[in-house]
């Protein structure tokens, strides 16, 4: 039996109980009883090849310098894997809970990954904002609606499809094969090919891989939330990813008047 110990614990109003749990060779982020991320303590990331974090990146074609969007951060397992598998041109992450972001930075090595744009807020608010700003991505990974009801997960999937660059890829992590089939059917007109991949025979994770976006970004989106989001762009030295001084804040321009735009803050804002 593996010996484990909790090295950090906190409670978040958004996510509930947050724990960082260490085993002899691995660290895990456990939120409300579910494992959201894993990181090898000995640096051997190949042990994660059977997990969905790895397979979501290797089951689809990635361009040499992709622009990447992750929806749902966890401890940032996929950020680490991405930088080992390719050289991304740009990375943006949507995470609704700043407490999760702080834990990922302090306990899972994200502070050492420079040039990542962290957008803190609900995906239902931030995704439409990205669309209005005419942002697009070659690879989009959604891991925020894993066990959500279809009434939430499917509109989010459709909105994210509107951010995928032509010939780009959207990957969704879904809990049940029935939900995966519904999402695949919903997105089929927008992509050249859709593959459903069950990660393990005994597991619940099903990856819906939508390959070859047929339409230009700026398609259908989900309802726009009223709350403004906050962004944290953390470089390896703690300064903003856009060269801002630590602790500085600047509004990101949003298209059109009276638009609520995320703020781009230095990592110090999360302390």
What confidence category does residue 200 fall into, taking pLDDT thresholds of 50, 70 and 90?
Answer: confident
With the CA atoms of 200, 201, 207 and 209 taken in that order, what torsion angle do they form, in degrees rounded to the nearest 10?
A: 110
Least confident of 60-69, 109-118, 174-183, 239-248: 239-248
Given a cut of 90, is residue 173 above it in pLDDT?
yes
Does a structural domain hold residue 52?
yes
Counting every residue, how long is the chain?
Answer: 271
- Rounded to the nearest integer, the mean pLDDT of the chain is 81
Q: What is the extent of the structural domain holding 96?
A: 48-213
Q: Label residue 214 left, alpha or beta by phi (over 0 means left) and psi (-120 to 50 means alpha).
A: alpha
The pTM of this model reads 0.81
In the chain, the number of structural domains is 1
Does a structural domain hold residue 14?
no
Q: What is the pLDDT of residues 65-96, one digit of tens each?
A: 999 999 999 999 999 999 999 999 999 999 99
Q: What is the pLDDT of residues 146-172, one digit of tens each?
A: 877 888 899 999 999 999 999 999 999
Task: Establish how many alpha carbons lie within 13 A of residue 213's alpha carbon, considering only the half-sphere containing its beta carbon.
Answer: 23
How far from chain centre, in Å, is Cα 40? 20
Residue linked to tokens 């891991």: 143
The answer to whether the beta carbons of residues 231 and 118 sit under 8 Å apart is yes
Does a structural domain hold residue 71?
yes
Q: What is the pLDDT of residues 49-62, one digit of tens each?
A: 989 999 999 999 88
Does a structural domain hold residue 104?
yes
Non-local (6+) Cβ contacts of 202 within 8 A are none
The answer to whether the beta carbons of residues 207 and 55 sit under 8 Å apart is yes
- Residue 155 sits in a domain whose CATH number is 3.40.50.150
């Amino acid at each position: 039996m593996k010996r484990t110990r909790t090295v950090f614990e906190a409670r978040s109003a958004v996510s509930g109980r947050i724990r960082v749990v260490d085993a002899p060779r691995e660290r895990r982020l456990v939120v409300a009883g579910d494992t959201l991320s894993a990181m090898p303590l000995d640096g051997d990331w190949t042990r994660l090849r059977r997990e969905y974090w790895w397979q979501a990146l290797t089951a689809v074609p990635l361009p040499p310098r992709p622009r990447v969007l992750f929806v749902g951060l966890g401890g940032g397992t996929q950020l680490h894997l991405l930088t080992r598998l390719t050289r991304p041109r740009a990375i943006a992450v949507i995470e609704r809970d700043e407490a999760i972001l702080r834990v990922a930075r302090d306990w899972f090595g994200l502070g050492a990954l420079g040039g990542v744009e962290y957008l803190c807020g609900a995906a239902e608010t931030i995704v439409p904002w990205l669309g209005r700003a005419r942002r697009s991505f070659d690879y989009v990974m959604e891991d925020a609606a894993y066990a959500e009801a279809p009434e939430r997960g499917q509109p989010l999937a459709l909105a994210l499809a509107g951010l995928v660059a032509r010939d780009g890829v959207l990957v969704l992590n879904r809990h049940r094969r029935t939900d995966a089939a519904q999402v695949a059917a919903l997105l089929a007109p927008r992509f050249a090919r859709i593959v459903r991949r069950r990660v393990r025979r005994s597991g619940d994770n099903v990856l819906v891989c939508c390959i070859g976006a047929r339409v230009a970004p700026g398609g259908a989106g989900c309802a726009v939330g009223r709350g403004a989001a906050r962004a944290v762009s953390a470089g390896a030295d703690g300064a903003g990813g856009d060269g801002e001084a630590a602790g500085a804040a600047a509004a990101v321009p949003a298209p059109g008047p009276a638009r609520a735009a995320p703020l781009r803050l230095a990592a110090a804002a999360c302390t």
